[in-house]
Amino acid sequence: MNNRPMYGFVLLLLALLALMSLWLEYSVQTQHLDTHQFGAHSPDYIIRHFTVTRTNLLGQKQYTLWADVAQHYPDDDSTDLSLPRMVAQDAQQGQVSVRSDRAVATSKAAQVNFIGHVVVVRDQHSVRGPMTLTTTYLEAFPDQQILRTQQPVDITDKWAHITATGMEMDNHKQWVDLMHNVRAQYETAR
Residue 171: its pLDDT value, please? Answer: 76
Tens digits of per-residue pLDDT, 32-80?
454 445 556 788 888 999 888 888 888 888 888 899 999 999 888 889 9
pTM, two decimal places: 0.71
SS3 call for 15: helix
Question: What mean pLDDT comes out for the span 150-159?
Answer: 90
Residue 2: its pLDDT value, please? Answer: 65
Closest-CA residue to 170 (of 135, 128, 132, 142):
142
Residue 1: its pLDDT value, please? Answer: 55
Structure-model confidence comparison of residues 126 and 25, the more confident one: 25
Distance between CA atoms of residues 150 and 168, nearest Å? 9
Indicate the domain borders of the chain. Answer: 1-40, 45-186
Distance between CA atoms of residues 178 and 149, nearest Å? 10
Residue 3: its pLDDT value, please? Answer: 65
Tens digits of per-residue pLDDT, 122-134?
876 666 678 899 9
Neighbour-count burial of 141, counting CB atoms closer than 10 A to its CB (0-12 exposed, 13-18 middle, 19+ buried): middle
CATH number of 45-186: 2.60.450.10
Residue 189: its pLDDT value, please? Answer: 56
Residue 124: its pLDDT value, please? Answer: 62
